[in-house]
Structure 1
């Protein structure tokens, strides 16, 4: 057996597993946040919050912090109390968005089994972890038992070869994959390998694993060795990829940025769980230094964590961003969930590094949301129109 099948078999105490087989995985880490745990708490009350001994649970308050409504504040207090009572690890002081906090604070290893009530827990696949998204209601069973009842998916391998052009980022690769292979990878586990990943930063690997769930993958992860490739193999020469953009109403509706060049935008958003890491901030600051964004554009920048925010301050990046006209938000999800700061009006056209562009995602259902890389977003914010980065 190769890495994926072998890891599942070990976690299920079996000698082997095959696609379609129903297994019971021993869970190493359970994740959640204020965006989904209100529903989970309602379902979990039925067992009086029974929790399996030794269960490791990590929660963040990142979707609406500080609380924009009374209801959100009540939920935050409920999460604090349940975390205290049940010994859950809670990050409730603005430490950042869940997936970045997990990467910074937890020990993640290849084959580790993670489940969480969020659509993008596969971000941890950058470290080789096998992370699966569950609905809040379905996460209750792992909380109570320590196991996840799971049907083994088919697996495919995507081999990313060669190096990127200078105006292309990992986010463009992710958009290219979900746009060109969306139907091929839906419902499957996706293993990533290739010469590009052998030199890519951990932040770039996190960006790739973070966005692929928008194509409906079961999970996505980076292989330590291409010899561990499993299932059908797709080879992509990343050197031919150009800046890409997802057009509403779906992240899988992808085309080259040049096809939309010149379209007016009113809001630009950079950061959060997909593109709020320090290399993203360095990229943006290098473009914005000694320049001003278009006067009709609101540029919102959200560091993925407080550690990244502190590093931005130490490097002088925060000052560069603010002087350009950008608004630098507290660490967390930022406008992405549509819960507070940065909501869109019916007239807004937003270009963003967030993870979803469905109608109403960030406010009005009539607003247009386009997804792109940080480099494309910041270049467009300068010009006031969608711009292919130099």
Structure 2
């Protein structure tokens, strides 16, 4: 069996499993946040919040924090009270976006089984964890029993070889996969391997695993270098041949090279959140924006993924560099991405962002245009007032 099937077999206490087989997985960790947990609580209350013994639940307030409405504030208080009663681990003081805080606070290990009511729990796959995204209603069974029933999906192995040129980031590699292989990865588990990953930072690995569910992947993960099982490559990408990429509205899989969109005017630029708000991204943005000014027609919003990232930025003087350029540095969290607050778009806005979705209305008006790109491309574009890949 490959690494993925081995991990599932272990979680199911079975000696062997096959694709298409229905199995019950013992879950190691359950995730959630204030974006989906109102629906979770609404369904869970039917059993008076029954929680299986030994279940570990990890929650954050990141989608609408600080509260953007009275309703949100009431929910924050309800969740806080339930967390006390049920011993749920709730981060409620602006620690940041779920997936980044999880990586900072928990020991994520190869093969551990994670489920969560969020579309991007596969971010933990950077550590070799196997993470499945569930609907709020689907999360009730794992909460109450500690098990998740899954039909073993097919595995697609993507081998990433060599190293990218300087203006190509992990986000560009992820967009390349979405653009070229979204039909091939839909409904499957994506295993990532290759010489690129042997050199890539954990920040870059998290970026890769974070975005692939937008192409329909059930989960994505980096195969541990210590893994001895044979993995047959389904597809191979020479990342040294890639160029900066952009996902064009209305879907993350509608991908073009930045070179095809040069000169496209923008009014908003957004950097940060769960896909690109880590230290690697912030350092790069500061290097681009240092001693320069954001274009007068552009609002640049930067959201650190966590308070720990924000503190490092402050200590290194990065926050000041960004503010001095004209950028607005937001509190750690999801920022504008969920379309709740902190930078909604008007019908006239054209935005280039590092967020995870560009469907109509994602960040405000349905008439606004959203282009998805790497932090480097977004920073360069913010300076020029148009989509750009160079200073």
TM-score, normalised to structure 2, is 0.99
Gaps (5+ residues) in structure 1?
A: none
Match of 2:47 in 1: 47
Distance in 1 (alpha carbons) for counterparts of 2:224 and 2:12: 22
Distance in 2 (alpha carbons) for counterparts of 1:33 and 1:231: 36
Match of 1:356 in 2: 357
Distance in 2 (alpha carbons) for counterparts of 1:267 and 1:79: 34
**Counterpart secondary structure, 1:364:** coil
Say if 2:159 and 2:233, in contact at 8 Å, map to a contact too.
no
In the TM superposition, 1:308-387 aligns within 5 A as 308-387=309-388
Shift of 1:7: 0.9
Say if 1:243 and 1:389, in contact at 8 Å, map to a contact too.
no
Distance in 2 (alpha carbons) for counterparts of 1:48 and 1:333: 30
Aligned length: 390
Match of 1:66 in 2: 66
Shift of 1:232: 5.1
Say if 2:27 and 2:115, in contact at 8 Å, map to a contact too.
yes
Match of 2:84 in 1: 84
TM-score, normalised to structure 1, is 0.99
Distance in 1 (alpha carbons) for counterparts of 2:2 and 2:389: 40
Distance in 2 (alpha carbons) for counterparts of 1:65 and 1:247: 29
Distance in 2 (alpha carbons) for counterparts of 1:268 and 1:377: 6
Match of 1:159 in 2: 159
**Counterpart secondary structure, 1:370:** strand
Cα deviation, 1:48-69, whole Å, max 9, x if unaligned, reads: 1000000000000000111111
Gaps (5+ residues) in structure 2?
A: none
Distance in 2 (alpha carbons) for counterparts of 1:341 and 1:276: 15
Cα deviation, 1:309-349, whole Å, max 9, x if unaligned, reads: 00000000000000000000000000000011100000000
**Counterpart secondary structure, 1:191:** strand
Match of 1:108 in 2: 108
Distance 1:147-1:221 versus aligned 2 partners, 3 A rule: same
Distance 1:232-1:239 versus aligned 2 partners, 3 A rule: closer
**Counterpart secondary structure, 1:23:** strand
Distance in 2 (alpha carbons) for counterparts of 1:228 and 1:372: 34
Say if 2:186 and 2:215, in contact at 8 Å, map to a contact too.
yes
Match of 1:16 in 2: 16
Say if 1:157 and 1:229, in contact at 8 Å, map to a contact too.
no
In the TM superposition, 1:1-390 aligns within 5 A as 1-225=1-225, 228-230=229-231, 233-389=234-390
CA RMSD, 1 decimal: 0.9
Distance in 1 (alpha carbons) for counterparts of 2:319 and 2:96: 16
Distance in 2 (alpha carbons) for counterparts of 1:67 and 1:91: 14
Distance in 2 (alpha carbons) for counterparts of 1:311 and 1:300: 18
Shift of 1:227: 5.2
Distance in 1 (alpha carbons) for counterparts of 2:10 and 2:387: 48
Shift of 1:231: 5.4
Shift of 1:85: 0.8
Cα deviation, 1:225-270, whole Å, max 9, x if unaligned, reads: 3754545521100001100000000000001001111010000000
Distance in 2 (alpha carbons) for counterparts of 1:229 and 1:199: 21
Shift of 1:202: 0.2
Distance in 2 (alpha carbons) for counterparts of 1:232 and 1:166: 26
Distance in 1 (alpha carbons) for counterparts of 2:253 and 2:117: 22
Distance in 1 (alpha carbons) for counterparts of 2:6 and 2:210: 23
Shift of 1:215: 0.4
Distance in 2 (alpha carbons) for counterparts of 1:68 and 1:100: 22
Cα deviation, 1:249-293, whole Å, max 9, x if unaligned, reads: 000000100111101000000000000001100000001000000
